[in-house]
Structure 1
């Protein structure tokens, strides 16, 4: 069954990790993690520094391969794919938001947003038009031609959100997306992320130390010493 014919009803598990183990020398970052990501859900992964949160996100996203276990997307193993195919998977199926945004300083807000579309081979004119539409939806209309250095921290992070969503991925992976923002800007940015993701029915997986941000997710998973030690549904 191809990915395009798989049942994608909200709530159905479609990205799954089973028995995930990842070690760095003598340190075990993941010690046999099982985790399902459901269509359209917002999941927060919390835990202390060094607990394995970011490693888990990177393994689920195909950035890292697990030493043991497997990761499946729509029933297909992705951990066994070669680097070129995993890179293509990340370009087409996943979106990424990082703490510092990681925008390209020499590109405008619109060009940064259009990058995933351009890398996927989209026509430049159409890609930029789509980018401007996303920036407008995220409250950045009129700022399309500004460089990252001309944006506030909150504005830059909204550009990063627009970039992550521009190609309508199945999953948004966000690593401490509000970690560098003040409380008010963080709340506004989080609201913008969740609303925009809901429009595309993308799942959102957030790694965070921020308990207030985590409490806005539909589900919280806690990880310590490379193992999931608790979870709770919100609301």
Structure 2
């Protein structure tokens, strides 16, 4: 699925969740959440374990459907789409960075980075050239042919960031992207993520327990027991 191009200005809301409800059995993970993501912003979602923050990210990203409410991208509902169309939407419009990176072990750093471009139909030469360009931007020159098992944790996460940005998505969803990294590597990795996203104009929605990481965001939203508990502007 391709969402029509909108003349979007920095600060305009373009990904909107309204009245989001999600239940897992008797547990209500989201209890009527309203949240708008603005073009080009870095939004951190914080809260204790089990608060609903990862569920909120998954619903906004079209990974799971809400049981109530709606999700709109550029004014078009995406929560009602079938799985195949939501999967295509995620490949085309969104990028993802997870705690463990989820790189494919048999592929090199360049090949992992090129995957979104190949899935979008780019020929291999163009996809690999684009992948190498993003790896260079993230300080990984000379590591393009290494397998994930030959990279440090921080290097692997930078490859995951390059992969997430290679097709220039509208928004990057990052779920605890530094949870497995030490403090110094965590700071370097998130700084690289935010800087690289800013080059493309992509928004970043990051779920984290790390308050120092969250403090680098332009906006912080706290979720507790499936409700938005509060939001503050940082900076």
TM-score normalised over the length of structure 1: 0.98
Q: Secondary structure at the match of 2:232?
A: strand
Q: Which residue of 2 aligns with 1:57?
A: 57
Which deviations, in whole Å up to 9, do the C-alpha atoms of 1:192-224 show, x marking residues without a partner? 000000000000000000000000000000000
After TM superposition, list the pairs within 5 Å mapping 1:129-208 onto structure 2: 129-208=129-208
- Report how many residues are paired: 234
Q: Distance in 1 between matches of 2:81 and 2:5?
A: 21
Q: Distance in 2 between matches of 1:53 and 1:5?
A: 29
Deviation for aligned residue 1:28 = 0.2
Runs of 5+ consecutive residues of structure 1 not aligned to the other structure: none
Give the aligned CA root-mean-square deviation in angstroms: 0.8
Q: Which residue of 2 aligns with 1:40?
A: 40
TM-score normalised over the length of structure 2: 0.98
Q: Distance in 2 between matches of 1:4 and 1:79?
A: 16
Q: Structure 1 runs of 4+ off > 3 angstroms?
A: 2-5
Q: Distance in 2 between matches of 1:189 and 1:22?
A: 31
Deviation for aligned residue 1:7 = 2.4
Q: Which residue of 1 aligns with 2:127?
A: 127
Which deviations, in whole Å up to 9, do the C-alpha atoms of 1:79-133 show, x marking residues without a partner? 0001110000000000000000000000000000000111111101100000000
After TM superposition, list the pairs within 5 Å mapping 1:63-142 onto structure 2: 63-142=63-142
